[in-house]
Amino acid sequence: MKIYTKTGDDGFTSFYSGKRVIKSHLRVSVYGLIDELNSVLGMILVKLHDERTEKFINSVQKDLFTIGANLSGAPVRIDSLAKRVSEMEKVIDSLDKELPPLKNFILPEGTEASTFLFFGRAVTRRAERELVALSLEEKVDKDIIVYLNRLSDLLFVIGRYLNYKAGVTETVWKKNES
């Protein structure tokens, strides 16, 4: 497969169907954000040193490729996303039980791995917002929205968990404090 095709040199790209659209099309933007998120997860993997978490993040990367393909119009099945959301919820609940209760917003800081996870959460939220905007204009599978919403929760909790395990104290954000 050739890396460059020159078919996008005019500022247009193609959906899976072959339909040509401008690269700033909202659908293209959404699956571009999914791709960006996948790259951030790759950066996170470099910083993690926990085989179980690495394996799970790697499986999320594969899900994101499937989601991106679906959003581009490729005939890929995403019916497993609801099951994957349940798996994420189990991981979230398991890790959350070990953490001190969260009563306030916390600053996204701590270990290097945690800060990457918090950044990944923010990128996930951005992708989710754009996906919701797209869903107002075009049909989007609701399972994708739910998946991204839960993924941002998962990344946040893993970030907190890694900080906790490293003995990092969370910095609580207090209103009107600079």
State the pTM of this model.
0.90
> Token pair of 1, please?
């497969």
In a domain, 4, yes or no: no
Q: Residue 118: give the domain boundaries.
A: 12-165
CATH of the domain at 148: 1.20.1200.10
Helix then strand then coil, in percent of the chain rounded to 5, is: 60, 5, 35
Please tell me the predicted confidence (pLDDT) of residue 51: 86
Q: What is the pLDDT of residues 105-123, one digit of tens each?
A: 999 999 999 999 999 999 9
Please tell me the predicted confidence (pLDDT) of residue 3: 82
Q: What is the pLDDT of residues 3-40, one digit of tens each?
A: 888 877 787 777 777 777 767 788 889 999 999 999 99
> Token pair of 128, please?
């989710």
Classify residue 121 as exposed, middle or buried by CB count within 10 Å of its CB (0-12, 13-18, 19+). Answer: buried
In a domain, 175, yes or no: no
> Token pair of 121, please?
């959460």
> Token pair of 61, please?
């990367």
In a domain, 53, yes or no: yes
Residue with tokens 């179980």: 52
In a domain, 59, yes or no: yes
In a domain, 20, yes or no: yes
In a domain, 71, yes or no: yes
| Closest among 91, 89, 62 to 78, alpha carbons compared | 62
In a domain, 7, yes or no: no
Q: How far apart are CA 61 and CA 173, in angstroms?
A: 31
Q: What is the pLDDT of residues 55-96, one digit of tens each?
A: 999 999 999 999 999 999 888 888 899 999 999 999 999 999
Q: How far apart are CA 9 and CA 152, in angstroms?
A: 34
Domain tally, the chain: 1
In a domain, 108, yes or no: yes
Q: What is the mean pLDDT of residues 123-141?
A: 96
The SS3 call for residue 155 is helix
In which band, very low, low, confident or very high, does the pLDDT at 2 lie, cut at 50, 70 and 90?
Answer: confident
The SS3 call for residue 79 is coil
Mean pLDDT of the chain: 91
In which band, very low, low, confident or very high, does the pLDDT at 177 lie, cut at 50, 70 and 90?
Answer: low
